[in-house]
Amino acid sequence: MHRTINWILMLATLASIFALYVIKDGTRRLEARVQAEERALERAENDVSVLTAERAHLARPERLEPLARELGMAPVGAGQYLRLDVNVPSLIAPEAPNPSSQALGSSEGRSGVGRARGQGGGESHSLSPSAR
């Protein structure tokens, strides 16, 4: 009887040793993956900071202005601005009513809202093409 209990305890000890080895090996592998991911994260953060600095360097106005002038662009003139609170009939041409918008009861077809959208030059740059 003691012999059988000793064998069972020895097998349980060996099984525990094997399980401990497997768990330790898995932990080492996970730790290596975590370290690799941390290094990748550091590289990505470094790349982001480098790209941010490069963008700031390339977007400097004193660098862009001569390039824009070479392309024939000039600063925005006062006449290119459109006040939104003033109705300017010469710039906003009335559109023909859209039959589908009237059938659906859309407010865009009845009011002036939406008609002026997208008009007025469409330039969103600080420099616009100069008159030639």
Q: What is the pLDDT, as a whole number, of residue 103?
A: 53
Number of CB atoms found within 10 A of residue 98's CB: 12
CA atoms within 13 A on the CB side of 8: 5
Q: What is the pLDDT, as a whole number, of residue 118?
A: 44
Q: What is the pLDDT, as a whole number, of residue 90?
A: 61
Task: Write out the H or E segment, with its range, that includes residue 121.
Answer: none
Domain boundaries, given as residue ranges, for the chain: 1-75
Which residues are CB-contacts of 34 (< 8 A; sequence separation ≥ 6)? none
Q: What is the pLDDT, as a whole number, of residue 81?
A: 82
Which regions in the chain score pLDDT beneath 70? Answer: 86-132
Q: What is the pLDDT, as a whole number, of residue 116?
A: 44
